Structure 1
Amino acid sequence: MLRALEIRDMLIIDRLDLAFQPGLNVLTGETGAGKSILLDSLGFVLGWRGRAELVRTGAQQGEVTAVFDLAPGHAAFGVLEEAGLPVGDELILRRVNTTDGRKTGWVNDRRVSGEVLRQLSATLVELHGQHDDRGLLDPKGHLAILDIYAGNDALRADLRARWSEMGAARRGLSKAQAALEEVRAEEEFLRHAVDELSKLAPEPGEEAELDQRRRRMQQAEKIRDDIGQASSALGYDGAEGAMANALRWLEGASEKADGRLDDPINALTRAMAELDEAARGVADCLDGLDFNPAELEDTEERLFALRGLARKHQVQPDELADLSAKLSARLAALDAGESQIAELQSALKQAETAYGAAADSLTQNRRAAATRLDAAVASELAPLKMERAVFVTEITPAPDSAEGRDAVCFSVATNPGSPAGPLNKIASGGELSRFLLALKVCLSEERNAGVTMIFDEIDRGVGGATADAVGRRLKALSDGGQVLVVTHSPQVAALGGHHWRVAKHVADGVTTSDVSPLDADQRETEIARMLAGDTITDQARAAARALLVG
């Protein structure tokens, strides 16, 4: 419920503090007094897009504050929590507009964007008027309105789930079919490449190992002959035999040399030990260089095969094993593709069947609810002096969507025999107001609980008993809630539980607008003015008292 509205320096309002009440709140005043400015100011603090220039002439900035009382479980709590804003029973919205056009908003003293204000406004206030194309007059919203009236929340949630499942099944099938077609286009290549790679069976790191082994064997061929000759030169037929003969000869002569050959013999003995060690090292080297020439040929053949296949597939040799696995997987997908496509087609068919059943169930509920809504609106039109008018909720087939298979449009015929047409195109101003009011009364229990409803001159174009009927429907609509009505109808104003008068004043060449709460005597005077004009007669006062008595 809107509890308070404070306006500072907005258009022709200098300073205004309003305290609204539960029930039916009426605002009256002469044309041009500033009633629409109140709505502009309220729309401003709620983040609605409206006039560009709102700041009062001569002021630096304009400011509007709105205070709402929230009942437990109010829809605004969800918006506050999602936006990370403080949550409490009282909600304070404040918005400032500077002369350079900058707009800044706060919610419970936390700065917020205009989008957050608009999200909150959808849970707080609902505006209805002859030219309101955001609410009941917008055909795009009729489907949602009918579903709310029908209580189709669970069915809609189930349908959306079925729609998502069907979409996922279609995307999965389409992706699998595209992949299969892509693989089919290269089937011959895949089979040849996988066969070629499988026969070679490359392994990561193999190319470097083969290259190293090949280099060792090639180097061994080059140095083996030299090392062999060196081995022969060190052996018994070479240095070893010559040194052995020299040692034998020296030892035979040493007894007659008086010890002069002892040092040479010892040195020669040591030299033979070193020679023996060198000979063994050379022999070991020769043994290590020993290889089968066929092994070199085999190594080179596999190395060249790896490198050739890598060039063919434009990858590094070490990537061949991974390429083989990938191509084998694609080939396996090709072989298994037909069965996978069949499974996905079956899953899609099941999803489509489930969606169709959910959509048909929702359509049945909608048609039953449409019949109830048409009857309910008809019963409301009679007190509004439109008993001959016809209201029809038309349901026509629509393309499948997350909302079902139905298009909904509220259609009316204002006179018997007249062609029916869309609500916002057929009804005249006064008729349209009454249709909207009848619809709103029918939807009040199901739609937007806890929302402050504002009717902007919805009684325009009607008078007498019809205006009285409009007022009584508005009063009934306000029971247990809050309704604000901007009206020129004395019959409607007399039924209000709380009454404010909007008046315009000119002082020192400056025009300002003011809003004053009216007591019982002031209400009588105001309603008499609405009946008689500027000159209030005794008859007008008597008529006003009669209206107030009801």
Structure 2
Amino acid sequence: MLRRLTIRDFVIVDRLELEFEGGFGALTGETGAGKSILLDALGLALGGRADSAAVRAGRDKADIVAEFDLPSAGGLLAWLEDQELPVDEEVVILRRVVDANGRSKAWINGTPVTQAQLRVAGDSLADIHGQHAHHALLRSDAQRTLLDTHAGAGGIAIEVADAWREWQRIASLRRSAEQDSAASARERELLSWQLKELRDLGFVPDDWVELNAEHGRLAHAAGLIEGADEAVDALGEGDYAVNAVLRRLSARLEEMAGIDAALGEVRDLLMSAAIQSDEALHALRRYRDRLDLDPGRLAEIERRIAAVMELSRKYRVPPEGLPALETEWAQRFDALEASADPARLEAAEVAARQAYMSAAARLSDLRRPAARGLSAEITEAMQTLAMAGGRFEVALQPSEPSVHGLEVVEFQVAANQGQSLRGLAKVASGGELSRIGLAVQVMTSRDSATPTLIFDEVDVGIGGRVAEIVGQLLKKLGSDRQVLCVTHLPQVAACADWQWQIAKTDRGGETLSAVTALAARDRIEEIARMLGGVSITDTTRRHAAEMLGLG
């Protein structure tokens, strides 16, 4: 759950440090006081889009830090470890900084990350339902995604989409093979000749470095032999060989150090020099033994380099790029060979179709019971949301195979008793859509492993007894996770386990947002304000206290 949110210089917030509780919390206040601004700031910390409007006027940057408990479920811990990000067994800290130019930086547990990484982590920690989220329910893709999430079919839906694309790819190859057989034959012939040229060269990735190294040694062999002989002679074979001199001096200094210990350091240095000189002599002799003047080998290497350079220029790639070019052409040739075999392609297409149909059938098997269950749950919720006798159905209409499976998902509703079911977009009024959308959001939120659920004025368009029922639904949802709700409705706020008031204040001629955690008596005043507006009477206060169970 969300434990702490720190906001600096965000829109009309100068500095806020908020400590959150569990259960159901309501954020209330007059319109324009900045309630949704808090959620916008949290949305940034969760990986949302950033722009310069986020920065408070006159400031260089906005800084938001959100601290969450590390959830035991949902796979976030494994993801953090897989991304090689620091892991605290108790908390996850997300930070987002946006500068006045709209550029942003992000951190997870103090380590810089991309916005995409921040968003992945944020999706595992909190889920924000915006005040217009119910409008998304009018889109068929949103309906399908919601059902698949409810059914736990997200993984198989991806598998179906991948199988569909593979089936269509092979079908396209077969059609192309039937239409372009002559052009394909010409390309295969050219590739075959080019591949033979490269394969006859027998060039592998490390060849170029080794060829040039060997060529350098052979081309300069005479000079290298002369230099090695000179060094060997100076170190160990000449009249004044360095090794012999160093050994004599070391022995002499050994005698002198026995008389005067002050010479011990000089003796050690000479002995070390003698040892290293001797090792250098042995290494030089081994090197000299390997060197040889071989004009034949040098000519062979030069012919090999010339052949490589010829193909390099011909195919316009660097010499070391020839092996990769050979691999690319070989893959293309294999694909053309496969496409030139209609029987083989037809068999592959049949197999791909069967794989798709199998995956799509499994997806349908998950969707059907989930659709029935969700239909019953939303229908039941509608009876308590001033839509008695209404029905909701997740219809699965058979369709031709597609990237989304073997059916079209459509949310259908009959808002009143006796009406026939029709598509949600065709029959629901604004108020009905708000209530149905809220019911869908609350019901499907129970499927999520996300520990924090945030509702931003999703209760727009409802009131009275329906608002109280919505508050009870959110309170029930908050019994096993953290639920935050920005609301204008006293009936919803009264159901909350705790409540904050957001208000505007004037400070030094600047309008800023302030947040107050309300105690029980303070909640009576705030609920009374929400009930009665500007003029708050004792009757309104008694009503507010009764709603809060404090009367």
Distance 2:416 2:4 in 1: 43
Provide the rounded CA distance (Å) in 1 between the counterparts of 2:100 and 2:467.
41
Partner of 1:60: 60
User: What CA distance in whole angstroms lies between the structure 2 residues aligned with 1:529 and 1:435?
Assistant: 28
| Structure 2 counterpart of 1:97, one-letter code | V
Residue number in structure 1 paired with 2:443: 442
Tell me if 1:539 matches 2:535. Answer: no
1:109 corresponds to which residue? 110
1:130–1:433 contact (8 Å) kept in structure 2: no
Aligned 8 A contact 2:5 2:64 in 1: yes
**For 2:164 and 2:358, how far apart are their aligned partners in 1?**
11
The yes-or-no answer on 1:456 pairing with 2:456 is yes
In the alignment, the residues of structure 1 paired with residue 96 and residue 509 of structure 2 have an alpha-carbon distance, to the nearest angstrom, of 29
Show the counterpart of 1:386: 387
Residue of structure 2 equivalent to 1:483:
483
Whole-angstrom distance in 2 between the partners of 1:54 and 1:172: 50
- The 3 A distance-change label for structure 1 pair 59 and 396 is same
2:349 aligned residue: 348
**Aligned partners of 2:129, 2:425: CA distance in 1, in Å?**
13
Residue aligning to 1:13: 13
Cα offsets for 1:211-235 (capped at 9, x unmatched): xxxxxxxxxxxxxxxxxxxxxxxxx
Report the alpha carbon displacement of residue 539 of structure 1 after superposing the two structures with TM: 0.9
Q: How does 1:83-232 map to 2 (within 5 A)?
A: 83-88=83-88, 89-132=90-133, 136=137, 138-152=139-153, 155-156=156-157, 159=160, 162-163=163-164, 166=167, 169-170=170-171, 173=174, 181-182=182-183
Q: Residues of 1 paired with 2:419 and 2:51: CA distance?
A: 39
**Amino acid of the structure 2 residue aligned with 1:21:** E
Distance 1:350 1:337, change over 3 A: closer
The answer for the alignment partner of 2:29 in structure 1 is 29
Residues 480-505 of structure 1 deviation map (CA, whole Å, 9 limit, x = unaligned): 11111001111111111111000111
- Which letter does structure 2 place at the counterpart of 1:124? L
Query: Within 2, Cα distance between the matches of 1:504 and 1:137?
Result: 36
User: Are the equivalent residues in 2 in contact too, given 1:452–1:481 (CA < 8 A)?
Assistant: yes
Q: Which moved more, 1:484-493 or 1:376-385?
A: 376-385
Identity of aligned residues (%): 41
- Report the count of equivalent residues: 407
Distance 1:425 1:513, change over 3 A: farther
| Counterpart residue type for residue 528 of structure 1 | A
Shift, 1:172, TM fit: 6.4
Tell me how large the CA RMSD over aligned residues is.
3.4
SS state of the match for residue 128, structure 2?
A: strand
SS of 1:355's partner is helix
Q: Do the aligned residues in 1 keep the contact of 2:130 with 2:457 (CA within 8 Å)? A: yes
Unaligned runs of at least 5 residues, structure 1:
191-203, 205-329
* Cα distance, 1:185 vs structure 2: 8.2
Distance of 2:511 and 2:155 partners within structure 1:
54
Contact 2:389 2:416 in 1 (8 A): yes
Q: Distance in 1 between matches of 2:153 and 2:98?
A: 41
When residues 153 and 40 of structure 1 are mapped into structure 2, their CA distance, relative to the original with a 3 A threshold, is closer
- Following superposition, the deviation at residue 420 of structure 1 comes to 5.3
One-letter amino acid matched to 2:17: D
Q: CA deviation at 1:39?
A: 1.7
Question: Letter of the aligned partner of 2:530 in structure 1?
Answer: M
Indicate the residue corresponding to 2:548 in structure 1.
548
Shift of 1:463: 1.8
Counterpart check, 1:40 vs 2:33: no
Pick closer, same or farther for the CA change 1:511–1:162 going to 2, 3 Å: closer
**TM-score of the two chains, using structure 1 as the length reference:** 0.66
One-letter amino acid of the counterpart of residue 374, structure 1: S
Q: 2:374 aligns to what?
A: 373
| Secondary structure of the structure 2 residue equivalent to 1:382 | helix
Question: 1:49, CA displacement in angstroms?
Answer: 2.5
Q: Residues 17, 174 of structure 1: CA spacing in aligned structure 2 closer, same or farther, 3 A cutoff?
A: same
CA distance 1:428–1:178, shift in 2 (3 Å): closer
Cα pair 1:128 1:135 within 8 Å, conserved: no
Change (3 A) 1:61 1:170: same
Asked if the contact 2:51–2:103 (Cα under 8 Å) also holds between the matched residues in 1, the reply is no
Using the alignment, how far apart are the partners of 1:398 and 1:424 within structure 2? 20
CA 1:43–1:80: 2 relative to 1, 3 Å:
same
Between the aligned partners of 2:60 and 2:453, the Cα distance in structure 1 is: 32
Higher Cα radius of gyration: 1
Instruction: Tell me the TM-score normalised to structure 2 length.
Output: 0.66
Q: Which amino acid aligns with 2:32?
A: G
- Find the counterpart in structure 2 of residue 257 from structure 1: none
Q: Partners in 2 of 1:185 and 1:97 — Cα distance?
A: 57
Letter in 1 for 2:415: T
Match of 1:472 in 2: 472
SS at structure 2 position matched to 1:53:
helix
- Runs of 5+ unmatched residues, structure 2: 191-199, 201-332
